[in-house]
Structure 1
Amino acid sequence: MLFCEKQLIGRQSYIYLLTACKNCNASRPICTYCKNIAWPDYKYVFFAKTIPAQKRTILLFPLYICIINSIQMSHSAINRKKNTENIYNIPNFLSAYRILAFPFLIWMIIAGQEKLFVGFLITNLITDILDGFIARRFNMQTQFGARLDSLADVGTMIAAFAGLVIFKTDYFFIHKWGFITFAGLYLLSFLVTFIKFGRICGLHLYSFKTTGYVMGIFFAWIFLSTPPQWYYYLMVCVSCWANIEEIIIFILLKEPKSNAKGLYWVIKSVKKVNRY
């Protein structure tokens, strides 16, 4: 018994048939339920066969994650070989820059280099806007780029909040409950997607793109001057709504999805699927 990625995430398993590839004549396992090609890790699958189905979810949760990750790595390697995605483009390079800048931002915080930190943070925020715009404008959007951008966003967010706590301590503690509420919802969205899909993924909602602009202006403003009180409340409301929307969408989705736009579009697509 083998697992395909879709049925594994759904905590189900189905028998597979071996079929020959038309191009290379190699045998590949095909799911008899959903017809998806499977790329399993056989040692984990063999172990899973010996455990009753009702106990697999609890006992084999770490193994499920390992299998999903190995499937994803295999699919990524296949995509690169077939050149289905051109991952070497400007948006991905900008996202990679933000990831590489993260440890330097943390070092600047530890070293107390506030001016240098602010310069690099603003550069990160600008590149965050640019990579999304270039990807959409010149049709350079890829699954790899979406994951890379999500990872870069997390790093920039962590660095920005760490800098806020260290360099603007008084402001942070005066407004701590707004920041704590946002941070709690932000972490909860990661927890929900990890529990449901076995990995962390980003939806790139319109509300999150708006949040990125609003928070980018806020962080640039607070390190250069002091933003007015109304803008702080606007930032908290917009960012909290984006996280709540993302959590609801993660609950509704049956499989990971990038560029989901928003709750309205997800509900519309779910209704369309249920109709048929």
Structure 2
Amino acid sequence: MNKLSTADWISLYRIIAVPFLLLALVLMQENWFKYLLLLSLFSDFIDGPVARRLKQTSGLGSSLDSVGDLLTQVLMVAGLFRFRPEVLQEYVVWFLVLLGLYLLQVLCALVKYRKLTSFHTYLSKMAFLLLGMFVLALFFYRFASWLFYPAMVVGMLSLAEEIMLVLRLPVPKEDVKGMLWVWKSGDKRK
């Protein structure tokens, strides 16, 4: 295995945190969970800028970031199920639409590329940030509709964009800015 860069270690934190987040869920330790989740979201916020600043961008780093993002998202939802089930029940349609789009994106990627994508579009970064802010606000304060609705809408738009990217790009690419940049660059379907 190649030597891990500083940015890779920051991304790897989210993967290492998974068993501890799971333990907090099982033991009903909401405080542990919310602080570990806060650290995971912070690591996602800084790993990309650190990689670019230190010129440590790599395929491995992109993959670690994608896996860390996926696991963090799954655990955020698991935390909602465990600690705030009333929110999921009240807004079940929103969560089901988001989940459906996510599963469709995964299915498209697996069928076409035989692997998950690591597009890291601007829209997906914004969606993850908004979702993280919403979940943290929910755990640290209370339900914030002013964060919930933008998080859901941007999340759905992000997943729709990623589905379009899978359908458009003949091979998977890492760190794609978004569909607009793909169109401008002249990438064609093949």
TM over 0.5: yes
Q: Report sequence identity in percent.
A: 31
Aligned-pair CA distance for 1:199: 1.1
Q: Does the CA-based 8 Å contact 2:138-2:144 persist in structure 1?
A: no
Shift of 1:229: 1.9
- 1:208 Cα shift? 0.8
Name the one with the larger helix percent: 2
Mapped pair 1:224 → 2:147 = no
Alignment pair present for 1:172 and 2:88: yes
Instruction: Please show how residues 65-84 of structure 1 align to structure 2 within 5 Å.
Output: 80=2
Partner letter of residue 121 of structure 1? L
Query: 1:136: Cα distance to partner?
Result: 2.0
What is the rounded CA distance, in whole Å, between the counterparts of 2:145 and 2:37 in structure 1? 22
**Cross-structure match for 2:186:** 270
Is 1:193 aligned with 2:95? no
Q: Partner residue of 2:166?
A: 250
Task: For 1:120 and 1:186, locate their aligned partners in 2 and report how far apart those are by CA, in whole Å.
Answer: 24
Of 155, 160, 184, 2:76 maps to 160
**Matches for 1:84-163 after TM superposition, within 5 Å:** 87-163=3-79
What are the Cα deviations for residues 195-250 of structure 1, in whole angstroms up to 9, with x where unaligned?
Answer: 00111121010101111211121111010112332321111001110000010011
Other structure's SS at 1:207 match: helix
Task: Give the letter aligned to residue 172 of structure 2.
Answer: P
- 1:23-71 Cα distance to aligned partner (Å, 9 max, x none): xxxxxxxxxxxxxxxxxxxxxxxxxxxxxxxxxxxxxxxxxxxxxxxxx
Alpha-carbon distance, 1:89 to partner: 1.1
Which has the higher relative contact order, 1 or 2, with Cα contacts under 8 A spaced 6 or more apart? 2
Q: TM-score, normalised by structure 1?
A: 0.66
Deviation for aligned residue 1:88:
1.8
In structure 2, stretches of 5+ residues that fail to align are: none
Q: CA RMSD in A?
A: 1.5
Residue 140 of structure 1 and its aligned partner are, at CA, apart by: 1.4
Structure 1 residue runs of 5 or longer lacking an equivalent are 1-76, 81-86
> What's the secondary structure of 1:88's corresponding residue?
coil
CA deviation after TM superposition for structure 1 residue 269, in Å: 2.3
- Residue of 150, 159, 162 corresponding to 1:234: 150
SS of the residue 1:119 aligns to: helix
Do the aligned partners of 2:134 and 2:144 also contact (CA within 8 Å) in 1?
Answer: no
> What TM-score do the two structures reach when normalised by structure 2?
0.94
Structure-1 separation of matches of 2:154 and 2:114: 28
State the number of aligned residues: 189
What SS does the aligned partner of 1:133 have?
helix
Higher-Rg member (1/2): 1
Residue 208 of structure 1 corresponds to 124
Decide whether the 8 Å contact of 2:109 with 2:117 is kept in 1: yes
CA contact (8 A) 2:137 2:144 kept: no
One-letter code aligned to 1:176 = V
Matches of 1:136 and 1:109 in 2, distance apart?
Answer: 34
Deviation string, structure 1 residues 82-134 (Cα, Å, up to 9, x no partner): xxxxx521110011111011122112111111111111001100011010111
